[in-house]
Amino acid sequence: MIFGHDTESALQAAVALTNSARGSDTLTTVRELRAWYIEHGYTGRRDGDAAELASLRALRPVLRELLTADREHAASLVNTMLAEARALPQLVRHDDQDWHLHAVSADAPLATRVIVETAMAMTDVVRVDESSRLFLCADQGCEGIVLDLTRNRSRRYCSTTCANRNAVAAYRARLGARQADGP
Ligand SMILES: [Zn+2]
Ligand SMILES: [Zn+2]
């Protein structure tokens, strides 16, 4: 593991949320938001209404800027975000989760908690100087963010869709080259 478990899951949640905006938007209903919330292990307040959905949708460009920022810029964004949310780190233990950090209360609006969780995760990324774990998808024309948590830094694409599309394109290119070489 590159970071702690809570840091990695907060980053994965933020990347998934941000990437939902690219291509055909996959965060357009309260139901899709609920699926994201459950998949990424978010707990605490969830209003499940249109206003909450709108606030999470509006968060995507903000998270995108943070996740793709260089180290200097990320540091200043994190400080601003934590100050604006009046973050106060506290060790908590709830449900089946052992001691971990929360920096805003569980009944703060979901958008506030997502921004604070992501900013807290980025404090780790900045401190251990691992900003290069976050980058744009190698697929031409895809603006998705990749979070590479592999030991040997082997990820290049944001999704299996992008990875497969490029594997097929590379295969065709090889095939084409071989035919051109032929007799
Ligand atoms: Zn928690
Ligand atoms: Zn991609």
Give the model's pLDDT for residue 182.
64
6 alpha carbon – ligand 1 mean position (Å): 9
Give the model's pLDDT for residue 172.
87
Q: Is the pTM of this model over 0.75?
A: yes
50 alpha carbon – ligand 1 mean position (Å): 24
100 alpha carbon – ligand 2 mean position (Å): 32
103 alpha carbon – ligand 1 mean position (Å): 10
**Out of 50-59, 94-103, 111-120, 145-154, which region has the weakest mean confidence (pLDDT)?**
94-103
Q: Which residues contact 89 (CB under 8 A, 6 or more apart)?
A: 101, 102, 103, 120
Give the model's pLDDT for residue 173.
87
Closest by CA position to 60, among listed 7, 124, 115, 107: 115
Give the model's pLDDT for residue 51.
98
Q: Indicate if the pLDDT at residue 180 is higher than 80.
A: no
Place of tokens 């800027």: 65
Q: Indicate if the pLDDT at residue 3 is higher than 70.
A: yes
pLDDT-above-70 percentage for the chain:
99
How far is it, in rounded angstroms, from Cα 61 to Cα 89?
Answer: 25
Over the chain, what is the mean pLDDT?
A: 94
CB within 5 A of ion ligand 2: which residues? 137, 139, 142, 144, 158, 162
